[in-house]
Amino acid sequence: MQPVRHAAPKLKELVLVAMAAAIWFCAFIGLRPLADPDEGRYTEISREMAISGDYVTPRLNGVKYFEKPPLVYWLSALTFKAFGVNHFTARLWIAVFAVLGCLLTYYAAYSIYGRAAGIWSVGVLATTLIYYVLAQVILLDMAVSVMISGALFSFLLGVREPRGAKRRSLFMAHYAFMGLATLCKGLIGFLIPGAVMFLWLLLLGRWRSLRPFYPVSGIALFLVIAVPWHVLVGLANHSANHKLDFTWFYFVHEHFERFTTTVHRRFEPWWFFLPILVGGLLPWTVFAWQAVARSLRGGWKGRKEQAEAWFLVIWIVFVMGFFSASQSKLIPYILPVIPACAVLIGRYVAERRREGMEAGFSRGGWAFVVLAVGAGVAIPLIKVPGSHDGLTLHYPYGPGLAAAILLAGAGFTGFALLKRQAGRVAGGMMVTVAVLFVAIASMGRAFDAGSSIALSRILQERLKPEDRVVHVALYAQDMPVYLNRQIDVAGYKGELEFGIDAEPEKTADRFISRARFIEEWKDARTTYAVMRNWYYDKWFSQLGLNNEVIGKSGDLYLVVNRSPSSSL
């Protein structure tokens, strides 16, 4: 059966979607301090790359860092060279990738299911909790998720096209996206798309639709994008000790051992991602099951008539299963399934708006109303641990505002349900969540619990080029960004261990033992130390060393070995 063909969206529509998404994702990314460790880590790697000009070997706090490939580092480093380092430029490329994800989702849903499905799909994606939050945070998961989505959407659209220039362009985009995904986060960049495509072709018997798939030129394009950096960095960082060699660390430790062992200490039960998906899809979780059931109507026998929907479901199930089987699990890992979910839900909402309410849609709408009312009542009563009362201090109206938004949205949506207006129900949900996200994001500077920005500001006022800064039994990864300098570390290696051990001649004086730190504290050189409060109280303050606590932030103390006046 030939697929139903819809015209692809026009360039004008794509530009409007891109502009709206850019405003939506970028409006508030400069307000919030960098969170430690992830945002500090990836910003600092890019900052050091921009300064050194070495785009082959990523470094974190001056040591080699090979846990991830460099595509996002490259983009951010170039941005830093052109516009400087700040909160906005640090998060810019993650937001740009989120915008690209919206464009890809809109284009795919529009091309497969029509204009209304495209509009609702991009609206669902942009207001899904996990997608919006991760578009505001400097993690590599947004980049790799969007590239994987691009590869899979391009393939799905490509197999629908007859032989010709458009089919070839879509397949070339498919191979290019896989290459870029590999440069974002490694081998999953082509393993996940390859597995999803294979399962779809196998289960639906669609092998004939694969021809032609341009393997020679496509694989050549993939290799040109993905291979050169891996070769260059491997040659530049070879070691006779295999555990200090790039190839072993990157391919064995960071891929094979991460997936098959608990070496990274991120073990969670097999069902870990199920509640994450349920919560991450909010508010659209209430329509998720209905959307899947609607898309797969006709069951196994009707799978060829619903081939595109089966592709999206296989995409979701495989990614969930793949990461559930891994011995290393983190919440952002499931982000690649969200665009596929958005298309299924967007299509379902578009159909209900066109064809009218049905029981499943009504139940989903009322579920949203109940959740919104419950959250609206609970939020003013909840105190978030570790917030340092930042929200109360800067935005005392914040909890009340959030409650008012949720209760108003619940009221509007409930009224639309009583009137059986499916479009207004979905629209009310979308507007409620959008206004809530804007309200929270606009209060970004209140959420600084994981940042060392307060201590960094104290240091910025006092620090001289010849002074030393040491982190004791920790490494606050955002501080080097704020101070625009590398930090010495005492009694701690953590994820820096590979880089420290790989170049001992360069790191011996910067990464020191706790005993050596105590001896060097007595030096005439002004030294600032950052340590946790309990560490200071139970150990450092008991040593009888000259010291003065000049800053406190959260559970961190900033200590100096002499006041500025004593060195005059």
Q: What is the 3-state secondary structure (H, E, C) of 220-282?
A: HHHHHHHHHHHHHHHHHCCCCCHHHCHHHHHHHHHHHHHHHCCCCCCCCCCCCHHHHHHHHCC
Asked if residue 464 and residue 339 are part of one domain, the reply reads: no
Residues 403 and 488 in one domain: no
**What would the pLDDT profile of 244-256 be if each residue is shown by its tens digit?**
888 888 888 777 7
* Domain identity same for 472 and 436: no
Given 326, 355, 384, the domain boundary residue is 355
The percentage of the chain sitting over the pLDDT mark of 90, rounded to a whole number, equals 74
Is the per-residue pLDDT at 567 higher than 70? no
Classify residue 326: in a domain, yes or no: yes
The answer as to whether 493 is a domain residue is: yes
Check whether residue 164 and residue 258 sit in a common domain: yes
Over residues 86-136, the pLDDT tens digits come to 999 999 999 999 999 999 999 999 999 999 999 999 999 999 999 999 999
Q: Is residue 62 part of a domain?
A: no
What is the H or E stretch that residue 79 is in?
helix 71-83
Q: What is the DSSP letter of 63?
A: E
Using alpha carbons only, what angle is made at residue 120 by residues 116 and 126, rounded to the nearest 5 degrees? 150
Phi and psi, residue 524, nearest 5° = -70, -15
Q: What is the mean pLDDT of residues 373-389?
A: 72
Q: Is the pLDDT assigned to residue 394 strictly greater than 50?
A: yes
Q: Which pLDDT score, from 0 to 100, does residue 13 have?
A: 95
**Is residue 197 domain-shared with residue 329, that is, in the same domain?**
yes
pTM: 0.93
The H or E element that residue 559 is part of is: strand 556-560
- Closest by Cα among 568, 549, 555 to 458: 549
Least confident of 198-207, 288-297, 405-414, 558-567: 558-567
In this predicted structure, what is the pLDDT of residue 566? 44
- Bridge-based pairing of strands 556-560 and 548-553 is antiparallel
Q: Residue 198: what pLDDT?
A: 96
Kindly tell me if the per-residue pLDDT of 318 is higher than 90.
Answer: yes
Asked whether residue 389 carries a pLDDT value surpassing 50, the answer given is no
Residue 328 and residue 459 in one domain: no
**Residues 321 and 405 placed together within one structural domain of the fold:** no
- List the end-to-end C-alpha distance of the chain, in Å, as a whole number: 86
Q: Which two tokens stand for residue 189?
A: 């960049």
Backbone angles phi and psi of 59, in degrees to 5: -135, 145
* For residue 37, cis peptide bond before it (omega within 30 degrees of 0): yes
Q: Which domain holds residue 563?
A: 453-567
Given 413, 446, 479, which residue is the final one in a domain? 446
Assess if residue 38 is contained within a domain.
no
Residue 77 inside a domain? The answer is no
Cα 107 from Cα 115, distance rounded (Å): 9
Residues 470 and 344 in one domain: no
Output the CA–CA distances (angstroms, integers) from residue 520 to 179, 273, 469, 511, in the order listed.
48, 47, 12, 13
Q: Tell me the Ramachandran region of residue 60: left when phi exceeds 0, alpha when psi lies from -120 to 50, beta otherwise.
A: beta
Say how many domains are in the chain. 3
> For residue 335, how many C-alpha atoms fall within 13 Å in the half-sphere facing its CB?
25
Q: Do 204 and 258 fall into the same domain?
A: yes
298 pLDDT band (50/70/90 cuts)?
confident
Residue ending a domain, among 355, 384, 403, is 355
Element housing 490 (H / E): strand 488-490
Helices (H) and strands (E) in the chain, counts: 26, 8
Q: Are 503 and 436 in the same domain?
A: no
Looking at the fold, whether 94 and 227 belong to one and the same domain comes out as yes
Q: Examine the domain organization and report whether 337 and 394 are in the same domain.
A: no
Residue 526 lies in a domain: yes
DSSP assignment letter at 452: -
Residue 241 lies in a domain: yes
Average pLDDT, the chain: 90
Mean pLDDT of 255-279: 76
Identify the CA nearest to 292 among candidates 256, 345, 236, 239: 345
280 located within any domain = yes
Range scoring the smallest mean pLDDT among 334-338, 394-398, 429-433: 394-398
Residues 424-455 have pLDDT tens digits of 999 999 999 999 999 999 887 776 657 899 99
